[in-house]
Amino acid sequence: MSSEIQQIVDSNDNPHNDNTKKNDKHSNNDSTDHSNGDKKEHKKEDGWKGTLTSVLCYPLRPATRSEKKKDKTVDIKSEHRGDNEANPSKPEDAAKSQFLARLEKLREEQKHCLSSFILLPENAVVKKRLLVYLWIGEGFLDKKTEEKTLEDSATEILDKFMNESFILPVKNNCNKVEKSFKMRQDVHSWMTSVLSPEAKCLDSISDGKVFPWFHDELYLLKKSEPLQLVQNQEKVKTLFNVSKGSLAFKLESFTKMKNAKILYLGRWQSSAERHHIEVADSEFMKGLKNMENLRFLSLQGISGIQELPGRSISSLGNLRILDLRACYNLEKLPKEIALLKELTHLDISECYLLDCMPRELLSLSKLQVLKGFVITDTKNSNFCTLAELAGLEKLTKLSVNLNSENFSIDNFSAVFKFGKLQKLKITWGGKFSKVSRNKKSQQENKKPKDTNVEGSSKTLEKLELQCLPLKTLPKWVHPNNLGPLKKLYIRGGGIKTLSRTQEGNQKWAVETLRLKYLNEFNMNWIELMALFPKLQNFEKFKCPKLTLCPCDCTGVWIQPSTKESTPLPQTTS
């Protein structure tokens, strides 16, 4: 791929190049190395065979099945030279040449990651979470070091793409950590033309058809095509739902996809663009039992799924990511989930009918991210508790939904026992009525003002509290216990102040503070700055009693010295 891209760059930048030696060298290589070409090509193909973006190792124009068998390569120089030589000075040609030159300098796995963006329509805003999941599913992040998490590796790749102006971060007020991205429209067009010169854009290809450059390995589900048109199911490596709202798979067809690595059947759009997806019958999921190579399964936002077939789930020993976010009808997790020994990410957030967590979760020793852990009043020895999660030594990110009136808020100090936990989100909701919230607040506030909470966290960097039923922060949320904390988000609830006058108001090391939907919060900017002297980013929204804040019209304040002189180009969603 590198040599082929370089040929395009050379032909675009130097259409009348007099350096015949260089051209002769390429020509000689094409003729003298032909005998070894197939061997080298097959060796390269084996390394990436079946990947979502293996396009960069495959033909760059649609090929017939007979052509695929004869030769896996194509001279893309001849595909593009005509237009470029006829108009060598066109600005768009020069820009494309510069793009190809930058593309050529990327490592192979980076090229593959970049081409993931063209699976979605032009100008589509993609969450970082989706990109990370796709890249993990394809195995692009497998070569990480022990010092880096999978998210850290993905962040480095995205930073590279932004620095090369391939993609743009979508602006999110004061948040300096980009969470959403979009590929530049011209880059999207160039990527598509390089990967398939006959397709000006993805929509120019019939909806639902297999894209020729993926060699029957990718199938996109789109609105206008019936699902039964999937051909050669045994060759499908990735099944991605672009815009299908009603899923009605046949078990027979689903069972044949034995080589699938990614099944993304749920929604990928952001919350502002959500569309409804439903299944009339979840019987097709029994076909999962044949997908031993599956690494990423997403059912996000699909209604009609009440439970996962345990026998089929038990066969997914290679699964890395299980995304069940917003499966509103899901009532329980199967015990067979304990057999997913390679699982690193489990998302069960917004599954409001889940009322217990099976103890089998404790068998997921490689789990790094757990979203939607539920705490209720139901008592059963077969259920997993918050304190027991500390046994998951690799857990770095945890979100908890508290639907219990008897669970003491101070019990969250159990998180101090988590050795690598970096991000924690706690949401009080569900069974917490306004009356019970007031009762809980009175009970907690009447407790002795003993501020000595045993233990501390040396790793927690971000804490998010939603609908906190107290007037002040819990005792364990204290600078002495959360020294490394850099981000504190409080959203909703009855909290009135962050100060602790009886404790001398110890200073926080927090750099980013967000306060939203706090009708009772009664402080001013001077008091906040006294508590948070290292504050660099602040955001408030619907906090009517919070006064004197030097925020802009969007409720954002950024410490002047931290503003970048040459910020990356951004786009607003």
Q: What is the DSSP string of 514-548?
A: EEES-TT---BHHHHHHH-TT--EEEEES-TT-BS
What is the average pLDDT across 484-509? 87
CATH of the domain at 72: 1.10.10.10
- Asked if 182 and 165 count as a contact pair (C-beta separation under 8 A), the reply is no
What is the average pLDDT across 181-187? 91
How many distinct structural domains can be found in the chain?
A: 1
- For the record, the structure tokens of 269 come out as 């759009």
Q: How far is CA 43 from the centre of its chain?
A: 31
Q: Is residue 308 part of a domain?
A: no
The pLDDT > 70 percentage for the chain reads 67
- State which of 59-73, 141-155, 349-363 shows the largest mean pLDDT: 349-363
pLDDT at residue 207 tops 50? no
Q: Is residue 260 part of a domain?
A: no
Nearest-CA neighbor of 261 among 39, 52, 549, 413?
52
Q: Is residue 226 part of a domain?
A: no
- Asked if 286 and 312 count as a contact pair (C-beta separation under 8 A), the reply is yes
Q: Is residue 73 part of a domain?
A: yes
Nearest-CA neighbor of 55 among 186, 193, 156?
193
The pLDDT > 90 percentage for the chain reads 41
> Which of 171-185, 218-232, 298-312 is predicted least confidently?
218-232
Q: Is residue 136 part of a domain?
A: yes
Query: Please, what is the Cα angle at 313 between 392 and 368, to 5 degrees?
Result: 25
Q: What is the structure's pLDDT at 486?
A: 97
- Please tell me the distance from the alpha carbon of residue 16 to that of residue 12, in angstroms, as a whole number: 9
The 10 Å CB-count burial string (b at 16+, else e) for 349-376 is bbbbebbbbbbbbbbbeebbbbbbbbbb
What is the residue whose two structure tokens read 């001849």? 78
Q: Pick 342 or 171 by higher pLDDT.
A: 342
List of residues 6+ apart from 393 with CB closer than 8 A = 365, 419, 420
- For the record, the structure tokens of 33 come out as 């190395």
- DSSP H/E element including 103: helix 91-104
Q: Is residue 133 part of a domain?
A: yes
pLDDT at residue 311 tops 50? yes
Q: Is residue 298 part of a domain?
A: no
- For the record, the structure tokens of 529 come out as 């700055």
Q: How far is CA 556 from the centre of its chain?
A: 26
> Which of 238-252, 350-364, 538-552 is predicted least confidently?
238-252
Q: What is the structure's pLDDT at 536?
A: 95
- Asked if 411 and 451 count as a contact pair (C-beta separation under 8 A), the reply is no
pLDDT at residue 65 tops 70? no
**303 phi and psi angles, rounded to 5 deg:** -95, 155
- Please tell me the distance from the alpha carbon of residue 88 to that of residue 383, in angstroms, as a whole number: 68
Q: What is the structure's pLDDT at 45?
A: 37
- Please tell me the distance from the alpha carbon of residue 135 to that of residue 540, in angstroms, as a whole number: 34
pLDDT at residue 541 tops 60? yes
Beta bridge mates, 322: 297, 346
What is the average pLDDT across 471-495? 94
Q: Is residue 508 part of a domain?
A: no
For the stretch 122-164, pLDDT in tens is 888 889 999 999 999 888 887 655 567 788 888 999 999 999 9
pLDDT at residue 460 tops 80? yes
What number of other Cβ atoms are within 10 A of residue 387's Cβ? Answer: 13
Q: What is the structure's pLDDT at 469?
A: 92
Q: What is the structure's pLDDT at 534?
A: 95
What is the residue whose two structure tokens read 């003491």? 408
Q: What's the domain range around 107?
A: 2-27+39-193
Mean pLDDT of the chain: 76
DSSP 226-283: -GGG---GGG--EEEESS--EE---HHHHHT-TT--EEE-S--S-GGG---EEES-GG
- For the record, the structure tokens of 105 come out as 């300098």
**511 phi and psi angles, rounded to 5 deg:** -105, -25
Q: Pick 257 or 207 by higher pLDDT.
A: 257
In three-state form (DSSP H/G/I as H, E/B as E, the rest C), the secondary structure along 320-373 is CEEECCCCCCCCCCCHHHHHCCCCCEEECCCCCCCCCCEHHHHHCCCCCEEEEE
Beta bridge mates, 516: 491, 541
**302 phi and psi angles, rounded to 5 deg:** -90, 125
What number of other Cβ atoms are within 10 A of residue 75's Cβ? Answer: 13
What number of other Cβ atoms are within 10 A of residue 476's Cβ? Answer: 22
Q: What is the structure's pLDDT at 446?
A: 53
- Please tell me the distance from the alpha carbon of residue 206 to that of residue 224, in angstroms, as a whole number: 9
Amino acid present at 454: E
Q: Regarding beta strands 180-183 and 167-169, do their DSSP bridges make them parallel or antiparallel, or are they unpaired?
A: antiparallel
Q: How far is CA 251 from the centre of its chain?
A: 29
